[in-house]
Amino acid sequence: VNPNARQDDILTDQLLDETLVYDLQRHKAHRLNKTAAAIWRRCDGQTTIAELAASLPKLGLPADTELVKYTLTRLEQAHLLQERITPALGGPWISRRVMLRRLAQAGTVAVLLPVITSITAPTPAMAASPSCIGEHGIVGTINGEGDCVPGKTPCCNSFKPTVTSGGCKCE
């Protein structure tokens, strides 16, 4: 199965090196760094994982199929692929830490690691709340980088929260 980037019900925009994607179905916004965006854009359903890997040196990355699989896993988690691809990829899954080590061994700088950052777009009530809504709808607090760090706040009462292992989730 070749990966195919989702085209329907999304808005995309470019902001310098980052690509912004807004998921109109799930009301989530994603930021893709240059590497993640480049791989995502090449997912046309025709290009194989090996071919995707072969294109990585243009970005200053090693032609590593594991790096492509790592990126595809994250793209799938963000619902930015048309079909699920991880079952076909097989395991084991490479963690971010391991991937960073592999890149370091290949002499590649860590900023080229594919990164997808996501938040849930707020409802009007959420926008007025002092908490933020992070990935997977988990309530959190905003860290020094301006990102939403989940699970650091108690449940808010205003949005029918459910407690999950990751923290408090607002519906």
Summarize as ranges the residues that interact with other proteins (CB under 8 A): 11, 13, 15-16, 18, 20, 22, 24, 27, 29, 31, 117, 119, 121-124, 126-133, 142, 144-148
DSSP states of 45-56 as a string?
Answer: SSS-HHHHHHTG
Distance CA 169, CA 165 (A): 10
The nearest distance, CB 45 to other proteins, in angstroms, is 26
Vertex 56: Cα angle to 54 and 62 (nearest 5): 90
**Alpha-carbon gap, residue 91 to 95, rounded angstroms:** 11
Shortest distance (Å) from residue 167 CB to other proteins:
16
CB of 120 to other proteins, least distance (A): 9
The least distance separating other proteins from the CB of residue 166, rounded to whole angstroms, comes to 18
- Of 47 and 123, which CB lies nearer to other proteins in the complex structure? 123
Residue 15: closest CA among 27, 29, 26, 28: 29
Q: Which is nearer to other proteins, 31 or 42 (CB)?
A: 31
Task: Name the residue nearer to other proteins (CB basis): 90 or 144.
Answer: 144
Nearer to other proteins, 91 or 144 (CB): 144
Residue 60 CB, nearest distance to other proteins (Å)? 17
- Pick between residue 23 and residue 64 the one whose CB is nearest to other proteins: 23
Beta-carbon contacts of 66 under 8 Å, excluding residues fewer than 6 positions away, are 94, 99, 102
Task: Find all residues with CB under 8 Å of 156, minimum gap 6, and list them.
Answer: 129, 131, 139, 168, 170
